[in-house]
Amino acid sequence: MSSYKFPHNFKWGSATSAHQIEGGNNNDWSEWEVSKLRVESLKLKGLNPNDFTSGKACDSYNKYQEDFDIAKSLNQNIHRFSIEWSRIEPEEGRFNEKEMQHYIDVVKSLRDRGIEPMITLWHFTNPVWFANKGGFLNKKSPEYFTRYVKYVVSNLQDKVGLWITFNEATTVYSSLSYLKGFWPPQHRNILEWRRVNKNIIRSHIQAYKAIKKIYNHSPANLESFEVEPRDRATSHNVVPRSDLFYGSGTGVEVGITENCSFNPSGNNLYERIIGKIYNYYRNLYLLSKAFPYYDFIGLNYYHIDRKSPGSYKAVPKQDWNMEYMNWEIYPKGIWHVLNQLKKFRKPIYITENGTADAKDIVREKYIKEHLRWVWEAIQNGIEVRGYLYWSLLDNFEWAHGFTPRFGLVEVDYKILERHIRPSAFEYGKICLANQLEVD
């Protein structure tokens, strides 16, 4: 038996998002789910549209205290969840105080259980009015988003110290919504994709500054930062200066979360060049463009990516695939990605890492194998502050519907009962001991 002790004060928890678990949301996603085009597309594939409609989801809007009791029983001390923008601002410029109070109560419920709240302000969904204005295609989108952020943060500033502005905004959302056309609004336009990315980055930076100002820690000194001339044309090679870390000791830390995969490339010059370009846009684009306006990086890691030429020569094909998702699992990849992110010199939280495993056969192995490589990265000098498994509950997995089962907790969607899976108890032992033990 080998033991891997994690740093003192390492955070252990899980993550969720509002649309996937709350139920009863009215946003651009919920409208798309029942749109004629979407329903007909599912029927043509022989699928039941009801299985791809979020509806009540897990009803966590009403059952959040039960869910947090479970998280507490599993020895978790941090929980990441998202606030649903469409609840807070259902109409442009009109804020719903009742819904804001709901999220205040959610935060209090976590605090009462000794669980640190980590709040994501945007997790894929938009208010209908915002979507009708073009969403993040609209040049005023940073203004709209920041207005919402100011309202939420002002109401929670004395209760929350960890904020995430965007979740997987450029790697997943913009690509699937504006480049590949799989997600609403199902556009396929590279110019729109670029514009959405630019506006999301602008939105993040404005929100970051606004949050810092609310906490009376103005980021004005960031304005003087300039990328050195030799780095302007190749911003993905920028190595941030160590004195640009903001957040520690300020009472608030504002981060951004990105979905990063491990992208092995071949050995010849052509394969390395193409691989480097692909890796930049796949993993480093958002973090490079938003730098230095974040205090920590949220890393979501799930699988290896084979789009770079020569990838099979660099790393042999694995015989471990995630059910329903068609993802090739490669635990060491998280070590590779963490070492890539080291150059940004920011603390890192693993904000998502998990597997769809309805029968709970491989989840324990998945968690332990990835944690072993996280531990190795920490030994390599990378400041990883916490690990949050995706997800606490089975949930509505976006375009995949309810079939994938990522949860530490199984949800019976018919009667909304929760059942803790055996792998969750094994993860709970790790959380309690702050230590991983493997054969």
The pLDDT of 268-273, averaged and rounded, is: 93
Measured from the Cβ of residue 322, the count of other Cβ atoms closer than 10 Å reads 19
**What pLDDT, on the 0 to 100 scale, is given for residue 267?**
87
Closest CA to 68 of 54, 80, 86, 56: 80
Position 238 confidence tier, pLDDT thresholds 50, 70, 90: very low
Judge whether residue 75 has pLDDT over 90: yes
Token readout for 349 is 């939280």
Question: What is the pLDDT at residue 439?
Answer: 82
**CB atoms closer than 10 angstroms to residue 395:** 26
State the Cα–Cα distance between residues 183 and 221, nearest whole angstrom: 39
pLDDT tens across 320-343, in order? Answer: 999 999 999 999 999 999 999 999
- Residue 406's nearest CA partner among 370, 360, 351 is 360
**Token pair 């390599």 in the structure block, residue:** 380
Residues in the chain: 439
Strand 417-420 relative to strand 409-412, pairing: antiparallel
Q: Tokens 């030429």, residue?
A: 309
Write out pLDDT tens, residues 375-430: 999 999 999 999 999 999 999 999 999 999 999 999 999 999 999 999 999 999 99
Structural contact between residues 406 and 394, judged by C-beta atoms closer than 8 angstroms? yes
Average pLDDT over residues 202-223: 79
Q: Which two tokens stand for residue 252?
A: 């608030």
What pLDDT score was predicted for residue 226? 31
Query: pLDDT-based confidence at 233, cuts 50/70/90?
Result: very low
Rounded mean pLDDT, 57-74: 98
Give the model's pLDDT for residue 217. 56
The confidence score (pLDDT) of residue 379 equals 97
pTM (predicted TM-score): 0.92
pLDDT at 134 over 80: yes
- pLDDT bin (cut points 50, 70, 90) of residue 234 is very low
Report residue 106 as tokens: 């959610």
Q: Closest Cα partner for 15 from 300, 382, 402? A: 300
Q: Looking at the predicted structure, is the pLDDT value of residue 71 above 70?
A: yes
Q: What span, in angstroms and rounded, lies between the C-alpha atoms of 81 and 315?
A: 35
Residue 231 pLDDT exceeds 90: no
**Residue 225 has what pLDDT?**
30
Predicted pLDDT at 216: 82
Residue 431 · residue 77 · CB < 8 Å: yes
**In whole angstroms, how large is the CA radius of gyration of the chain?**
21
Whether residue 241 has pLDDT greater than 80: no
pLDDT digits (tens, 9 = 90+) for 23-59: 999 999 999 999 999 999 999 999 999 999 999 999 9
Q: Please, what are the domains in the chain?
A: 2-438 (3.20.20.80)
Is the CB of residue 407 less than 8 Å from the CB of residue 395?
yes
Instruction: Give, as one character, the DSSP assignment of residue 107.
Output: H
CB 322 within 8 A of CB 302: yes
Confidence of residue 1 (pLDDT cuts 50, 70, 90): confident
Task: Give mean pLDDT, residues 361-387.
Answer: 98
228-238 mean pLDDT = 32
For residue 266, the model assigns a pLDDT of 87
